[in-house]
Structure 1
Amino acid sequence: MEKQKLKKWAKVGVQLVIAVVAIIFVVRDIDFEAFKALVLTANFWWLFVAFVAFNASKILSAFRLNYFFRALGLNLDEVFNLKLYYLGMLYNQFLPGGIGGDGYKVYLLNKRFQAPVKGLIAATLLDRISGVVALGVLALGLGFLGSAKDLLGEYGFLLWLCLILAYPLFYLLVKYVFPTYRAVISTTNLQALGVQGLQLICAFFILKSIGVEVGYLDYLTLFLVTSVAASLPISLPGGIGIREAIFAYGYTYFMIDQTSSVALASLFFLISLISALTGIAFLDLRTTTEDA
């Protein structure tokens, strides 16, 4: 047990170091005064629309996760599931390791409904994988429409290859590794695309709030790349530091503005943090579970 705790805190330490180093490099590389002015003068109403779009994505994501739970034989009330999802978002932001919310959902559902731990872990893992696949597919699609395809030159066919193979390979993974969830995978894949589409809308309105008028496709393509990176276990919850660093150094490949790119990453993190704080209202789920 002590060894597991040590490994967990070591992982958190590594994530923290990576985030701090990334933020230091970003602050040193950008015009910080211009960045601060851009963030502080962002249009509130466009940011509010971005906030709504982000939370719409999370509500749809909660519905998607419930499809996986139903395949497991766990029929959760949608309102209870949504409260649990936001509580998980809160824990993901503030518990070590970035998957604290998923771990708590598994614990709570096992204790309250005696759902099998192995199946719950598989459901939450597959939920995450389907989201990453959707991110990748949308990033590839936008890459074709923007300037990303030019970066690969004669190797541009790799974008087509990845786009064509992404979902067939994912279906094979589900068929042979997660067969319990085969019946819901088509629906959840569509929902995953909807979730990431809403997050793209969120990013678009953040760009509107800071006065960006051109290059949307390239901003959004790089935004999707940062979202994939933020989902990796090397980053702190929310991808803080990692998103900013990718934007700060990746903007040159897409011919977009560095300051606006980093502002997009920071404002998106702020919106996700404020949204996660909504989970505080559902902390009573812990008490009801202990009483159950």
Structure 2
Amino acid sequence: MSKNKQVQKRYKKLLLTLVKLAVSIGLILFVFSKIDTQSTFRILKSISPTNLILGFLLVLLSKIIASYRLLGYFRVIQIPIQAQTNLQLYFLGMFYNLFLPGGIGGDAYKAYILKKHNPQSSSKKTIAVLVLDRISGLFALFTIGVFVLASLQISILNINSRYSILLLVVALLCYKFIIDKGFAYTKAVFWSTIVYSLFVQGLQVIAIVCILKGLNISTDMHPYILVFLCSSIVSVIPLTIGGIGSRELTFVYGAQWFNLSEEKSLGTSMLFFVLNALVSLIGIYYYFNAIELQKESTEVNSDKRSPAP
């Protein structure tokens, strides 16, 4: 790649980051203009430390399980990486995504490092399984969300359990058809990745329950959980920095839709973000300390974090 093209690519990435940052700031300012800010911060201060610690541990466990889901994808495309090394890369990727949005993204960094130490591997397949890993998580969010929605019995969105199961079966068949036709090499881990994803999202839902209980919300939690699931899907859309702003906006409008406390709803969103950020900070250790790329064959390579081309 010529020097001019590299400079253009760098400026394009910087511009995109600035746009995302502006959108995040704009959405945050808009959200706080719609609520009682002082009341929100009083709510944040009132949470039980025990619930917060438990929520942190649940989010941490969900990320560890998510790394095993990704490990299954790597193994099926013949990338011989050990579970411990994969977990370290996973935490480093989270750190890149949340705290270094202007640089190479977490998924792109993982793809680059794995290709660097496994030159025989397919870059196309590596990128594909990284995308499928996220899609698997979204499918689990959708699955849990449908059942939560069915339990609410809202007149406008009234979906009973029978229709919930039918909807999920149709969605599952469509998902499997896409995998079979476009990504047949991942069929061996189709069901296991779905199970992993359900555990991952289930643990995060329990973390939200811990936050809600810590905010003295012990009844009618289903609407809050549904809003959380929707916000998790919205935050994946790459319009903001790490989902900041879009997640909070979803919580506030969700609170209006379900007639919930906007301040408690926003407080729940902010606290979950803090927990996720704290877990992501684990990756800072691997940012300053080289990861040893240990393969299952016991071959060891050292990741010196060379800049991506």
Whether TM exceeds 0.5 here: the answer is yes
Alignment map for 1:105-124 (pairs within 5 Å): 105-114=110-119, 115-124=121-130
The aligned counterpart of 1:141 is 147
Report percent identity of matched pairs: 31
The aligned counterpart of 1:276 is 280
Q: Which has the larger radius of gyration?
A: 2
For residues 125-154 of structure 1, the C-alpha deviation after alignment (integer angstroms, 9 at most, x for no partner) is 11011111111111111100124x433359
Contact kept? 2:290, 2:305, Cα under 8 Å: no
The aligned counterpart of 1:229 is 234
Of Structure 1 and Structure 2, which has the larger fraction of its residues in helix? 1
Bigger drift between 112-121 and 91-100 goes to 91-100
Q: 1:62 to 1:153 in 2, by over 3 A?
A: closer
Q: 1:212 to 1:92 in 2, by over 3 A?
A: same
Q: Could you tell me the TM-score, scaled by structure 2's length?
A: 0.87
For 1:291 and 1:209, locate their aligned partners in 2 and report how far apart those are by CA, in whole Å: 40
- Within the candidate set 81, 89, 99, 2:86 is matched to 81
Contact kept? 1:71, 1:183, Cα under 8 Å: yes
Find the residue that maps to 1:269 and give its secondary structure.
helix
The aligned counterpart of 2:75 is 70
- Within the candidate set 131, 137, 143, 2:137 is matched to 131
Find the residue that maps to 1:53 and give its secondary structure.
helix
The aligned counterpart of 1:210 is 215
Cα distance, 1:200 vs structure 2: 0.3
Contact kept? 2:85, 2:291, Cα under 8 Å: no
The aligned counterpart of 1:38 is 43
Contact kept? 1:111, 1:289, Cα under 8 Å: no
Cα distance, 1:178 vs structure 2: 1.1
For 1:268 and 1:154, locate their aligned partners in 2 and report how far apart those are by CA, in whole Å: 28
For 1:221 and 1:113, locate their aligned partners in 2 and report how far apart those are by CA, in whole Å: 41
1:257 aligns with 2:257: no
Q: Could you tell me the TM-score, scaled by structure 1's length?
A: 0.92
For 1:253 and 1:99, locate their aligned partners in 2 and report how far apart those are by CA, in whole Å: 37
Bigger drift between 262-271 and 150-159 goes to 150-159
AA aligned to 2:185 is T
Structure 1 gaps of 5+ residues are none
Cα distance, 1:179 vs structure 2: 1.3
- Within the candidate set 17, 21, 26, 1:16 is matched to 21
AA aligned to 2:145 is A
For 2:150 and 2:42, locate their aligned partners in 1 and report how far apart those are by CA, in whole Å: 33
Structure 2 gaps of 5+ residues are 293-301
For 1:146 and 1:187, locate their aligned partners in 2 and report how far apart those are by CA, in whole Å: 29
The aligned counterpart of 1:93 is 98
Contact kept? 2:88, 2:291, Cα under 8 Å: no
1:170 aligns with 2:170: no
AA aligned to 2:49 is F
